[in-house]
């Protein structure tokens, strides 16, 4: 996350759905969505109850648990082509286990992808991909799944059942939203001239050195876009045109 740009944001007091509320009561439409991890909103359906129930059973420590197999089952069902699956606390942890940095192409930013590819919800998995990075949909948690069709993977990290239970719950919520989503809202920023869009993902058209100005423009008009030039912004699920009214009026001036 770009600290320089994130410093422009006033302290956030609460988050609900796809909106952030600062300590002065101002509301921001979140199009960063924690790097896409909050695609189900900042309060994913049922997540709080799952976490409460897991904690009530004392399942804090990262011991083997029933959630080990549940998490792998949802990954197997979601990506049946990939025969090898492992889960890590972060991408850094995976790279450390590999002993080297591993780059993954992002189909939200380029149609040309190699064999290591980031999976983006709502976009197809490239046929040539033989290793997939899945940023699991759990706001505030950096856990990733790595799926492989060819190469063996380092052993998974041992995660707390609290995290695993939340990942499974959030995954089911994401699958449901992907089936029911009305995609009309994805095009609401197409006429601004600021973005190239792939599905719900937005790549800035401006030069990198001009991106801070774009970030500031959107923030001043109640919208948080990605603080990272090379990470896409995301059109939030169920976005309404009224949320963009202030921005559209500012662009006309």
Domain ranges in the chain? 3-30+181-252, 47-178
User: Could you give the dihedral angle defined by the CA atoms of residues 230, 236, 240 and 245, in that order, rounded to the nearest 10 degrees?
Assistant: -30
Q: How far apart are CA 28 and CA 11, in angstroms?
A: 12
Supply the pLDDT for residue 253.
65
Supply the pLDDT for residue 1.
45
Supply the pLDDT for residue 99.
94
Supply the pLDDT for residue 44.
84
Q: How far apart are CA 70 and CA 67, in angstroms?
A: 5
Those residues with Cβ within 8 angstroms of residue 83's Cβ, 6 or more apart along the chain or in another chain: 148, 149
Q: How far apart are CA 79 and CA 175, in angstroms?
A: 12
Q: Tokens 């944001």 identify what position?
A: 9
Q: How far apart are CA 36 and CA 44, in angstroms?
A: 13
Reduce the DSSP state of residue 134 to 3 states and report it. strand
Pairing of strands 233-234, 131-135: unpaired
Supply the pLDDT for residue 145.
96
Q: Tokens 């380092």 identify what position?
A: 154
CATH code matching the domain that covers 3-30+181-252, chosen among 3.90.1150.10, 3.40.50.300, 4.10.490.10, 3.40.640.10: 3.90.1150.10
Supply the pLDDT for residue 237.
62
Burial zone of 111 (CB within 10 Å; 0-12 exposed, 13-18 middle, 19+ buried): exposed
For the chain, residues with pLDDT lower than 50 are: 1
b/e per residue 161-177 (b: at least 16 CB within 10 A): bbbbbbbbbbbbbbbeb
Q: Cα–chain-centroid distance for residue 119?
A: 10
Q: In this structure, what are the phi and psi dihedrals at residue 54, rounded to the nearest 5 degrees? A: -65, -45
């Amino acid at each position: 996350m770009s600290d320089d740009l994130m410093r422009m944001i006033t302290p956030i007091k609460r988050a609900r759905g796809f909106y952030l509320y600062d300590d002065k009561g101002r509301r921001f439409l979140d199009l960063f969505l924690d790097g896409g991890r909050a695609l189900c909103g900042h309060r994913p359906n049922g997540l709080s109850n799952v976490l409460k129930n897991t904690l009530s059973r004392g399942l804090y420590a990262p011991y083997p648990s029933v959630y080990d197999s549940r998490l792998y089952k949802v990954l197997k069902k979601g990506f049946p082509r990939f025969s090898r699956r492992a889960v890590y606390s972060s991408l850094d942890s995976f790279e450390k286990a590999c002993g080297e940095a591993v780059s993954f192409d992002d189909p939200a930013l380029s149609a040309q992808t190699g064999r290591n590819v980031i999976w983006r919800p709502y976009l197809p998995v490239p046929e040539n991909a033989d290793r997939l990075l899945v940023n699991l949909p759990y706001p505030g948690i950096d856990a990733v799944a790595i799926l492989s069709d060819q190469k063996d993977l380092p052993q998974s990290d041992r995660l707390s059942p609290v995290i695993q239970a939340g990942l499974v719950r959030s995954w089911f919520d994401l699958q449901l939203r992907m089936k029911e989503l009305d995609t009309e809202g994805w095009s609401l920023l197409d006429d601004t001239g600021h973005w190239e869009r792939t599905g719900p993902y937005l790549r800035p058209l401006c030069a990198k050195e001009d991106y801070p100005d774009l970030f500031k423009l959107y923030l001043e008009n109640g919208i948080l876009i990605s603080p990272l030039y090379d990470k896409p912004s995301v059109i939030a699920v169920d976005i309404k045109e009224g949320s963009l009214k202030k921005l559209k009026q500012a662009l006309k001036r």
